[in-house]
Chain A
């Protein structure tokens, strides 16, 4: 059979496109609607955060980390302060560590809500979007009550926390956990058991476990491929070693499994929050930290499990100045995004938006 002589269509998707979740630019080469090539162009939101951090003193950097993954600011804070604490060999009080876990897990729920909403919206299921935002709003209210901010929290300090939890806050968190657990089945009803949703996500963007590891994928994207890697479990930080939780993994490594993994993480986060609230110890919320922080000379890498994957900080201190000598972030969104050209190969244009959503990127973190 002879084939038609066709020319490829180069389609510039983004940086202003409703489904690129910010300012991502994807240059697609299309044959009809089938994707034959894909270049990801990033950098539209580059603010030089890493360099900026080398010129700020150690406490000020917490505030800058908020601006990376701005939908999961508390996780960014946590990663940074823990790295510095590791550099300074600081022992953080248990109460502070527990509250950090609660904040980080609430943050994971908020981030997953945003992810699920936009992911579903990209595929035309617009009601899920508003349902998710309804629950995310509750998390933001909790954060507002805790630290006064709703998006960029600046919620952690080197050595502990700036504030103890307000009285009655733990009850509200518990109430929220109950609400969320009753709402997640609602999302699942609209999506998991929906024939169209399954058709749209099953077998789309399949990546095997070995390939996923080779590409440096982390977080739900990696777990969707069946690799049970979770920094919370493998290298426990904060107080995660005290809690029982499962690491959900997928089998097929497709968009549907990545979706299921994140849905299950809602439940696991709730489980962790409940345990943390039950066992919340009394005590100080901040360790004895010198007024002027000056970590000893040395370098360290520390990673946490942010909602999007392994968020690592590599920090070098020269022991003399008030700022890090070198500040480098390993952003999960950035590393996961490099799988996109691989995932979209041979799929249709409609799947491209599904896959961008499935990777769960935040451009503030990709570009920094």
Chain B
């Protein structure tokens, strides 16, 4: 029974490496996309069209001196980047990239685990990540990071409830918490949930922006206000860990949105027979394509919108998103019971 251990282990190794590599190249993508929006070129020097820039960045960050401020809380200061990074990575455990694919004659499922509480697991894991920011702000023993930590916690309580409400609506629709189950439910329902749950889709996306501390909700790291926010005192690889965590979180949120709302690995119109030619594109490629679109929108928004103030974010969360979420849940549940 070696394969029952070997295959999941292999999958973990492959997914972790793929995530880390794509995260480093996402930094390049972000710089390029924003540069194009802003009528400039972006990185051009390292490699053709700057394509090796992430490698140069990684080498630079690894070689940098790793400074711990003299009056920082050393243990927490060391722990914080890890707390930020680890949840971002283990979130991928339940993301289903495809149902099955064959490698060297073996049929393997393209997800590490399809646990029956997959969605709940994701919600709990991703909310741990914010502790990394709060702890970093606290441990730095510096005023700007402290304010950033406060902002992060204020931000957490404003969007987390709204997101969860939305996810519950989806669970009510699908009747399962399993990520694979939700995709199957969309196949059986003959429609992506994006079209039946547009409110949930929009709010989850807004919540996802806040969750990943992306513009316009990048309050904890607001460079222009807090000089970098929670990672002001960090340097070298620890600083990089925060960034990797942010980008990994972006991939997680995009993948979750893909799974819940646009049918994961399903091709467009999976029940329409005459579009069968689209089946030649493997499911995992559909998944990656959809995820990529979401990530692109993340970057696009960052280039376009100014930043919210944190009291405005809280107002948005408490006065708009949460009531909408509750209303959406009630309507969904009522319709589900009636029909």
Q: How far is the CB of A89 from chain B (nearest CB, A)?
A: 49
- Cβ–Cβ contact A190 & B304, under 8 A: yes
Q: Mark B201-229, 1 if CB is under 8 A from A, else 0.
A: 00000000000000110110011110100
| 298-335 of chain B: CB within 8 A of chain A | 303-312
User: Smallest CB-CB separation from A195: which chain B residue?
Assistant: B305
Choice from A19, A32, A124 contacting B305 with Cβ under 8 Å: A124
Query: How far apart sit A217 and B222, CA to CA, in the bound complex (Å)?
Result: 30
Q: How far is the CB of B333 from chain A (nearest CB, A)?
A: 31
Q: How far is the CB of A75 from chain B (nearest CB, A)?
A: 27
Choice from B39, B216, B222 contacting A131 with Cβ under 8 Å: B39
B147 at the interface (CB under 8 A from A): yes
> Which of B151, B224, B304, B305 counts the most A-chain CB atoms under 10 A from its CB?
B224
B172 at the interface (CB under 8 A from A): no
Choice from B34, B37, B303, B309 contacting A348 with Cβ under 8 Å: B309
Q: Mark A6-25, 1 if CB is under 8 A from B, else 0.
A: 00010110000111000000
| 156-180 of chain B: CB within 8 A of chain A | none
Q: Which of A47-55, A115-123, A265-273, A291-299 contacts B (4 or more CB under 8 A)?
A: A115-123
A349 at the interface (CB under 8 A from B): yes
A33 at the interface (CB under 8 A from B): yes
- Cβ–Cβ contact B312 & A353, under 8 A: no
User: Smallest CB-CB separation from B147: which chain A residue?
Assistant: A33
B190 at the interface (CB under 8 A from A): no
Choice from A9, A18, A194, A350 contacting B309 with Cβ under 8 Å: A350
- Cβ–Cβ contact A124 & B150, under 8 A: no
A210 at the interface (CB under 8 A from B): no
A134 at the interface (CB under 8 A from B): yes
Q: In the complex, which residues of chain B have a beta carbon less than 8 angstroms from the beta carbon of A191?
A: 306
A125 at the interface (CB under 8 A from B): yes
Instruction: Decide if the interface of chain A is mainly helix, strand, loop or mixed.
Output: helix
Q: How far is the CB of A351 from chain B (nearest CB, A)?
A: 7
A41 at the interface (CB under 8 A from B): no
Q: Mark A115-144, 1 if CB is under 8 A from B, else 0.
A: 000001111111100110010000000000
| 219-247 of chain B: CB within 8 A of chain A | 219, 222-225, 227
Query: How far apart sit A52 and B125, CA to CA, in the bound complex (Å)?
Result: 64
Choice from B39, B143, B307 contacting A124 with Cβ under 8 Å: B307
Choice from B40, B216, B225 contacting A130 with Cβ under 8 Å: B40
- Cβ–Cβ contact B222 & A127, under 8 A: no
Q: In the complex, which residues of chain A have a beta carbon less than 8 angstroms from the beta carbon of B144?
A: 11
B153 at the interface (CB under 8 A from A): no
Q: In the complex, which residues of chain B have a beta carbon less than 8 angstroms from the beta carbon of A122?
A: 224-225
A196 at the interface (CB under 8 A from B): yes
- Cβ–Cβ contact B307 & A123, under 8 A: yes
Known: A191-B306, A199-B308, A350-B219. 17 other contacts (CB 8 A): A9-B143, A11-B143, A11-B147, A12-B143, A33-B147, A33-B151, A121-B224, A122-B224, A123-B224, A125-B307, A127-B37, A127-B303, A127-B304, A196-B308, A199-B312, A349-B225, A350-B222
User: Residues of A at under 8 Å CB distance from B?
Assistant: 9, 11-12, 17-19, 30, 32-33, 120-127, 130-131, 134, 190-191, 194, 196-197, 199-200, 348-353
Give 27 CB contacts A-B under 8 Å: A12-B143, A17-B227, A19-B225, A32-B150, A33-B150, A33-B310, A120-B306, A121-B224, A122-B225, A123-B307, A124-B222, A124-B306, A125-B304, A127-B38, A127-B304, A134-B39, A190-B304, A194-B305, A196-B216, A199-B312, A200-B309, A200-B312, A348-B309, A348-B310, A350-B309, A351-B309, A353-B225
